[in-house]
Amino acid sequence: QVQLVESGGGLAQAGDSLRLSCAASGGIVSSYAMGWFRQAPGKEREFVAAVAAVSWRGIYTRYADSVKGRFTISRDNTKNTAYLQMNSLKPEDTAVYYCAARRTWSPSTGHDYDYWGQGTQVTVSS
């Protein structure tokens, strides 16, 4: 069973940057696609970003339109860790951010992931 633990969330002001980390253990996560999702109060969980285990049909990373150009997803398989670099933060980025892993190479934008972390709170003040 794969376990995912997010960290790096906190309070930031508009325009600031935060870097979220997702430490994975308990499985061969180097062969899994990784994703980041977020859920704001009163809203459903939404896709943020995903990265393939390897290049898939010419696609390695995917982003939601709302974060494209501001957020960057990456992974370090030697450390079994995925990251989400968040720049130019906006108040509307405020949410609980969840890390997810999928038992396939492809980076899905849906909720069809097999493992989920507990979430880390990101709050952005105006």
- Dump pLDDT digits (tens) for 57-97: 777 999 999 999 999 999 998 898 999 999 999 999 999 99
Question: How far is 107 from 92, CA to CA, in rounded Å?
Answer: 24
Question: How far is 78 from 64, CA to CA, in rounded Å?
Answer: 27
Summarize pLDDT for 10-34 with one digit per residue, the tens: 999 999 999 999 999 987 778 899 9
Q: For strands 10-13 and 120-125, give the pairing.
A: parallel
Per-residue model confidence (pLDDT) at position 1: 84
Per-residue model confidence (pLDDT) at position 21: 98
Q: How crowded is residue 96: how many other Cβ atoms within 10 Å of its Cβ?
A: 18
Question: How far is 66 from 58, CA to CA, in rounded Å?
Answer: 22
- Tell me the two tokens of residue 88: 């130019």
**Residue-averaged pLDDT of the chain:** 94
Per-residue model confidence (pLDDT) at position 56: 65
Confidence band (pLDDT; 50, 70, 90) for 46? very high
